[in-house]
């Protein structure tokens, strides 16, 4: 079969040409053929999603396992009731906010959707892609387009029309070239048939953005760990070896510095390296594909599949990859890398344990930190670091002075009262200050941890989570206590009235906040701080043990 190529990249002012090509692609689809189509995430291999025969051809062309369902691509929420039933209102809320865009919703299907498309499930995935060409093709075809990623099954997904031709030339009727994909990783898949909604695949739309709109989302186990023998993930596709280049891949997690050093230690001459731009120079005698700057997750998403695919045209015998943290788009990038590695993941600095402690006043953080010191750990007090940086980091001081003119006196000292007045009553001003400080705080903490002699570090911060310091931590720990105990402790400690103690507590975030956001909870109901310190020491000993154990198995 000859695969037709429709170029729709630079077509400004060529209305007629564009229409002809879109119509031609739509006609192929309507008549039961297969067309590679551009989306913002990755290229799709499209067919009429209501035509069982056409859908069968998708599975043949990709070599895709029969039990792996396809996503229906539509032009907007108005198409939902045609193919889905029992649609929860939340689906419309999400569609209005995030469509067109990289969000696939799993909903109950209507009988009109054939078993071939859903692999026999009673649910169907639906998404509205954010690409004008493909939206025009779907509109013109007048049918929902079933489209998996356009790669041969098992290979990394395609982010250019050339990638699609590499895998599908001669096997499909056409490819539409709409330029390189702007997101680069597939859509985020959210199952709305359960409560709370469940994340089946992290993707181009960060979970944090979804949670901001609809509240907590449960993350399916298959997202972060390999499936065990006999286990069934909710998204059938998550169980297959995926995105994998021919050479075996090892992902090295940990801070960028630590993972780069670890790769240097492990990589031989014939190794291929996937790393952040800043570290490419360390591997100058090897084949390197860079992911972009370590802080730029969008670029990493755009490049991750290309990096993985390109190694198949080279003779490297093994591949080592650096990996971003799990925040924002990082979760999708790291998931793709880890799946490419069959979850063969090694944590750099596996002997070092970093704990983040947070919680309100009077809960017992001080005793908990003493327990860490007893275990030989180093404690980093973020407040102290902040004041040190205020005195010594000229770049941070400049940034603050730009946004808060006049808070530094002519002799360079900080007018704390003035800054305090600026931020205390005004939340947006406080946010501005925090944004500046957090930007400097994380690299500073990273340095201190790196230079620490101790193998155990604890970071003490009331704003641990808001500042994003959790990315540096193996575990975050909420230190909490019953309110009545906290009131009594603060009264005794600070010599204040009961009313004032209660006011101080209610001015802070409730325990519930820390409890739900942290990895673990250390609750302090002990009668004395000495008793609590003993309990805390025991708690940390066990926690550290399990973290080390986990790291040595290397599947975090
Ligand atoms: O960004 C994307 O979603 C791309 C572009 C082309 O739109 N498509 C894509 O499709 O990534 P595919 O087939 O490569 O991945 C679809 C994933 C598979 O893991 C599949 O198991 C899961 O979605 N899936 C599809 N329908 C499902 C359903 N009803 N229930 C659970 N999982 C489903
Ligand atoms: Mg795929």
Rounded to whole angstroms, the Cα distance separating 507 from 198 reads 33
Which pLDDT does position 553 carry in this prediction? 54
Closest CA to 44 of 130, 139, 109, 124: 130
Please write the tens of the pLDDT for every residue from 199-256. Answer: 999 999 999 999 999 999 999 988 887 777 777 878 887 777 678 888 999 999 988 8
Give me ligand 1 centre to Cα 550, in Å. 30
Distance (Å) from CA 149 to ligand 2 centroid: 4
Residue that is written with structure tokens 């699609």 in the block? 164
Q: Ligand nearest 193 Cα, by number?
A: 1
Q: Which residues surround ligand 2, an ion (CB under 5 A)?
A: 149
Ligand 1 atom index nearest CA of 185: 1
Tokens of 348: 């750099």
Positions of E strands within 463-519: 475-480
Buried (b) or exposed (e) across 337-367, using 16+ Cβ within 10 A?
bbbbbebebbbbbbebbbbbbbbbbbbbbeb
| CB-defined site of ligand 1, < 6 Å | 39, 41-42, 44, 68-71, 102, 104, 106, 118, 121, 123-125, 127, 129, 147-149, 186-187, 189, 200-201, 234-238
* Token digits of residue 456: 């155990």
Interval between CA 232 and ligand 1 midpoint (Å): 16
Task: For ligand 1, pick from 61, 107, 124, 125 the residue to mutate: most ligand atoms within 8 Å of CB.
Answer: 125
Ligand nearest to the CA of 194: 1
Question: What is the pLDDT at residue 550?
Answer: 73
Residue 554: predicted pLDDT: 46
Angle made by CA atoms 487, 492, 498, in degrees to the nearest 5: 40
Cα of 106 from ligand 1 centre, angstroms = 9
Dist. CA 94 → ligand 2 center (Å): 23
Q: Which ligand is located closest to the Cα atom of residue 201? A: 1
CB 342 within 8 A of CB 326: no
Q: Beta-carbon neighbour count of residue 222 at 10 Å?
A: 22
Ligand 1 atom at minimal distance to the Cα of residue 44:
6
Alpha helices (runs of H) in 80-182, residue ranges in sequence order: 80-83, 89-98, 115-118, 132-141, 161-168
Query: Coil, strand, or helix at residue 508?
Result: coil
Query: Which residues on adjacent β-strands are paired with residue 72?
Result: 126, 146
* β pairing state of 271-275 and 198-201: unpaired
Distance CA 252, CA 338 (A): 9
CA of 200 to the centre of ligand 1 (A): 9
Protein residue with its CA nearest to atom 15 in ligand 1? 148
Q: How far apart are CA 385 and CA 467, in angstroms?
A: 13
* Ligand in closest contact with the CA of 154: 2
pLDDT in tens, 372-409: 999 999 999 999 999 999 999 999 999 999 999 999 99
Question: Nearest bound ligand to CA 44?
Answer: 1
d(CA 226, CA 178): 34
User: How many angstroms separate the alpha carbon of residue 156 from the centre of ligand 2?
Assistant: 8
Atom of ligand 1 nearest to the CA of 147: 6
| pLDDT for res 293 | 96
Where are the extended beta strands (E) located within 49-169? 71-73, 84-85, 103-109, 123-127, 145-146
Which atom of ligand 1 lies at the shortest distance from residue 45's CA?
6
Give the residue whose CA is nearest to atom 13 of ligand 1.
148
Look at ligand 1, atom 3, and give the residue with the nearest C-alpha.
187
Which residues are within 8 A (CB) of 512 and not within 5 positions of it... i.e. 6 or more apart?
A: none
Q: What is the pLDDT along the chain (556 residues), one digit of tens a residue?
A: 999 999 999 777 789 999 999 999 999 999 999 999 999 999 999 999 999 999 999 999 999 999 999 999 999 999 999 999 999 999 999 999 999 999 999 999 999 999 999 999 999 999 999 999 999 999 999 999 999 999 999 899 999 999 999 999 999 999 999 999 999 999 999 999 999 999 999 999 999 999 999 999 999 988 887 777 777 878 887 777 678 888 999 999 988 888 999 999 999 999 999 999 999 999 999 999 999 999 999 999 999 999 999 998 899 999 999 999 888 999 999 999 999 998 899 888 767 899 999 999 899 999 999 999 999 999 999 999 999 999 999 999 999 999 999 999 999 999 999 999 999 888 999 999 999 999 999 989 988 998 888 889 999 999 999 998 998 999 999 999 999 999 999 999 999 999 999 999 999 999 999 999 999 999 999 999 999 999 999 999 999 998 887 766 544 3
CB 315 within 8 A of CB 270: yes
What is the chain's percent helix, strand, coil content, to nearest 5?
45, 15, 40
What does the alpha-carbon distance between residue 156 and residue 257 come to, in Å, rounded to a whole number? 27
Tokens representing 455 are 């193998």
Let me know: does 470 contact 355? Beta carbons within 8 Å. no
The residues pairing with 153 across neighbouring beta strands, listed in sequence order, are none
State the angle between helix axes of 15-30 and 132-141 in degrees (0 to 180), rounded to the nearest 10.
50
Global pTM reads 0.71
Kindly report each contact of residues 58-65 with a partner whose C-beta sits within 8 Å and lies 24 or more positions away, as own/partner: 58/34, 58/146, 58/147, 58/148, 61/34, 61/168, 61/171, 61/172, 62/148, 62/151, 62/152, 62/153, 63/152, 63/153, 63/154, 64/148, 64/153, 65/153, 65/236, 65/240
Tokens of 493: 């400690």
3-class DSSP state for residue 381? strand
Measured CA to CA in angstroms, residue 494 lies from 361, 424, 501, 505 at distances of 11, 22, 9, 13
d(CA 144, CA 82): 10
Please give the Cα distance from 124 to 133 (Å, whole number): 24
The CA distance from 507 to 527, in Å, is: 25
**Alpha carbon separation from 539 to 30, 430, 466, 477 (Å, rounded):** 63, 35, 25, 11
The CA 103 to ligand 1 mean position distance, Å, reads 10
Ligand 1 mean position to 145 CA, how many Å? 13
Pick the closest to residue 180 from 167, 163, 165, 168 (CA basis).
163
Dihedral sign for Cα atoms in the order 423, 424, 428, 434 = positive
How far is Cα 429 from Cα 183, in angstroms, rounded to an integer? 32
How much is the pLDDT for 244?
Answer: 80
Q: What's the token pair of residue 265?
A: 């230690």
407 and 436 in contact (C-beta within 8 Å)?
no
């Amino acid at each position: 079969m000859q695969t037709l190529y429709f170029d729709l990249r630079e077509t400004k002012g060529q209305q007629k040409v564009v229409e002809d090509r879109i119509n031609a692609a739509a006609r192929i689809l309507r008549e039961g053929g297969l067309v590679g189509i551009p989306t913002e995430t990755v290229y799709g291999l499209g067919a009429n999603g209501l035509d069982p025969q056409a859908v069968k051809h998708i599975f043949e062309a990709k070599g895709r396992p029969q039990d792996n369902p396809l996503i229906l691509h539509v032009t907007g929420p108005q198409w939902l009731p045609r193919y889905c039933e029992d649609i929860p209102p939340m689906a419309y809320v999400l569609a209005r906010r995030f469509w067109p865009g990289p969000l696939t919703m799993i909903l109950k299907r209507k009988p009109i959707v054939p078993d071939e498309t859903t692999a026999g499930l009673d649910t169907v995935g639906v998404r509205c892609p954010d690409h004008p060409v493909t939206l025009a093709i779907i509109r013109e075809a007048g049918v929902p387009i079933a489209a998996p990623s356009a790669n041969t099954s098992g290979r990394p997904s395609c982010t250019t029309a050339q990638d699609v031709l590499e895998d599908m030339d001669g096997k499909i009727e056409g490819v539409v070239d709409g330029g390189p994909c702007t997101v680069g990783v597939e859509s985020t898949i959210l199952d709305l048939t359960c409560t709370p909604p469940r994340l089946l695949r992290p993707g181009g739309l960060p979970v944090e953005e979804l949670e901001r709109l609809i509240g907590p989302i449960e993350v399916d186990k298959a997202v972060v760990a390999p499936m065990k023998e006999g286990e069934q993930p909710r998204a059938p596709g998550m169980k297959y070896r995926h995105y994998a280049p021919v050479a075996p891949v090892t992902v090295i997690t940990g801070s960028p510095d630590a993972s780069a050093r670890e790769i240097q230690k492990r990589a031989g001459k014939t190794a291929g390296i996937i790393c952040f731009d800043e570290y490419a120079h360390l591997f100058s005698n090897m084949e390197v594909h860079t992911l972009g700057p370590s802080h730029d997750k969008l670029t990493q998403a755009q490049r991750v599949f290309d990096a993985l695919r390109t190694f198949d045209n080279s003779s490297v015998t093994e591949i080592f990859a650096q990996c971003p943290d799990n925040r924002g788009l990082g979760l999708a990038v790291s998931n793709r890398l880890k799946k490419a590695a069959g979850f063969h993941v090694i944590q750099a600095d596996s002997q070092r344990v970093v704990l983040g402690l947070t919680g309100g006043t009077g809960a017992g953080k001080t005793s908990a930190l003493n327990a860490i010191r007893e275990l030989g750990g180093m404690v980093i007090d973020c407040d102290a670091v902040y004041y040190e940086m205020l005195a010594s980091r000229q770049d941070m001081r400049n940034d603050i002075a730009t946004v808060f003119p006049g808070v530094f006196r002519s002799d360079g000292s900080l007018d704390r009262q003035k800054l305090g007045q600026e931020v205390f009553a005004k939340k947006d001003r406080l946010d501005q200050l925090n944004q500046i400080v957090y930007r400097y705080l994380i690299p500073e903490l990273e340095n201190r941890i790196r230079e620490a002699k101790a193998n155990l570090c604890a970071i003490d911060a009331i704003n641990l989570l808001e500042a994003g310091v959790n990315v540096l931590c193996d575990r975050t720990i909420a230190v909490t206590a019953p309110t009545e105990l906290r009131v009594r402790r603060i009264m005794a400690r600070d010599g204040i009235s009961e009313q004032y103690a209660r006011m101080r507590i209610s001015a802070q975030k409730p325990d519930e906040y820390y409890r739900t956001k942290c990895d673990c909870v250390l609750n302090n109901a002990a009668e004395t701080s000495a008793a609590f310190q003993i309990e805390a020491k025991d708690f940390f000993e066990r926690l550290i043990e399990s973290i080390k154990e986990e790291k040595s198995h290397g599947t975090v």
